[in-house]
Amino acid sequence: MSTAHRDQALDALLHPYADGLLRWLPQGDVLFLRAREGAALHAVGARGFACTQPFKPEVDRLQRIGAELVDEDALPAATYPLVLVLPPRQREEARALLAKACMAVAPGGIVIAAVANDEGAKSREADLKQLAGNLNVISKHHCRVFWTRPDAVFDAALLAQWAKADAPRVQRSAEVPGGEFQTRPGVFAWDRIDAASKMLAEALPTDLRGRVGDFGAGWGYLSMQVLARCKQVTSLDLYEADARSLALADENLGDAHLPVHCHWHDVTRGVDERFDVIVCNPPFHALGRGDRPDIGRAFIAAAANALKPGGRLWLVANRHLPYEQALGDGFAQVNTVAQNGGFKIVEATKAAR
C-alpha cells in the first residue's frame, strides 16, 4: 500500500503493540474510540473489541471484522484495561474524547492515543498530560503516540469539565429559519453557515415539489431552507454518514409541518427510495484531508438512480472538482446556474420516461 493511502495514525497507534513495547489484551478488554479498520488492526489480532465511530462507512468496515459498536456519550466508567483513541482535529471534540477515554479506563489500565504531527499532535499530547500526568511518548509514521502510566492519577475536575466540551448546544443565526439551530463541536460547519450550502439555498427555486431528498444533510441546514422556501414539498428524507450531525438534524427539523425521515447512511452505496427532487452539498473528504472527488461522483450517481423520471438534482460543489462526466452520464440536461466564490451551482434533470 502506498504511503498516500496508508492510515498513518492507526499504524502509529498500534506500533507499540506490533513492536512488543505493549501487550495486546484479549478480546472484550479493549475499547477503541473513533476506531478505524486497517491492516495494523489485523496485525495485532484485534477482533471482538468495543468501539465508537460516528462515520457510517467506517462502522460498516469495523462490524465486518466483529467489532462491537457502543454509545460514545454513555460509556461505562472504569471498565476497560486498555482504551485506544484516535482524536479528531477539532479541539473541544478531541478534549471530550480524551476525557471520556480516561473515565472509561479501569484502575491500572492505560489510555493510548496517536495524532499526526500536522493535525495537532503536540496539543493533544499536552491535553492528555493535563488529564493524567506524565506520559510515555514515541514518534512513528509522522505521528506522536502517547499513553498514560498504570499508576496515573486523573484530574477529576478537569475530566468532568472536558467530557462536556463537545456537548450539543444552541447556535443563533439570522440565516436559519427560526433564528437558531442545534449544533456541537466537531460536526461540519458546526459554528457557522457553510458558504456553499448558503449559496445553494439562495439559488433554489420556490417551485420544488413532492418528495425531496437531502444527500449529505449535515445538521440539516439545506433541509431547513427547503421547508422554509418551497411550500409544495410533501416530505423530506435526510441522508447523512455522520451520526453526530444526523442527530442534530433530527432536532433541528423536529417541528417540521410534514414528514421528515433521517437516515444514517453511506450515500455512496446507493439509496433505495425515489424522489422528485434531491438537494446536495456532497463531501469531498473522508476521514482525511486530501480531496476525494470520487465521493462526490458517487453521490451524483446515487442521486441519478434515486430520482424519478424527470426529477431534478440541485447540487453545489467547489468549482475545481471534476464532476462534469458524472453529471453527463446520469442526467439528460445539466445547467450551471451560478458560479461565485469558488463554488458552482448545478441543476441536473433526469430523462423523462
Asked which of 42-51, 81-90, 124-133, 253-262 is least confident by mean pLDDT, the reply is 42-51
Q: Which CATH number applies to 3-163?
A: 3.40.50.150
Over residues 24-47, mean pLDDT? 91
Q: What is the pTM of this model?
A: 0.95
Domains 3-163 and 169-349 share a fold: yes
What pLDDT does 167 receive?
Answer: 97
pLDDT at 130 over 70: yes
DSSP strand pairing (307-318 vs 343-349) = antiparallel
Confidence of residue 2 (pLDDT cuts 50, 70, 90): very low
pLDDT at 209 over 90: yes
What pLDDT does 320 receive?
Answer: 87
Distance of CA 139 to the CA centre of its chain: 27
What pLDDT does 289 receive?
Answer: 56
Could you count the other beta carbons within 10 Å of the beta carbon of residue 324? 11
User: Considering the chain, what is the average pLDDT of its residues?
Assistant: 95
Tell me the C-alpha distance between 237 and 49, whole Å: 33
Confidence of residue 353 (pLDDT cuts 50, 70, 90): confident
What pLDDT does 283 receive?
Answer: 87
pLDDT digits (tens, 9 = 90+) for 251-302: 999 999 999 999 999 999 999 999 999 999 998 766 655 678 899 999 999 9
Q: In whole angstroms, how large is the CA radius of gyration of the chain?
A: 22
Domain residue limits, the chain: 3-163, 169-349
What pLDDT does 302 receive?
Answer: 98
Over residues 92-101, mean pLDDT? 98
What pLDDT does 3 receive?
Answer: 43
Asked which of 227-231, 283-287, 318-322 is least confident by mean pLDDT, the reply is 283-287
Tell me the C-alpha distance between 163 and 145, whole Å: 21
pLDDT at 250 over 80: yes
What pLDDT does 27 receive?
Answer: 75
Over residues 50-75, mean pLDDT? 96
Asked which of 19-28, 176-185, 248-257, 264-273 is least confident by mean pLDDT, the reply is 19-28
Tell me the C-alpha distance between 65 and 41, whole Å: 10
pLDDT at 242 over 50: yes
Over residues 336-341, mean pLDDT? 93
What pLDDT does 288 receive?
Answer: 58
Is CATH 3.40.50.150 the right assignment for the domain spanning 169-349?
yes
What pLDDT does 4 receive?
Answer: 45
Q: Which three-class secondary structure string do you get for 252-311?
A: HCCCCCCCEEEEECCHHHCCCCCEEEEEECCCCCCCCCCCCHHHHHHHHHHHHHHEEEEE
Copy the grid coordinates of residue 95: 478534549
Spatial neighbors of 350 by CB under 8 A, at least 6 apart, are 304, 307, 308, 309, 310, 311, 312, 313, 330, 331, 332
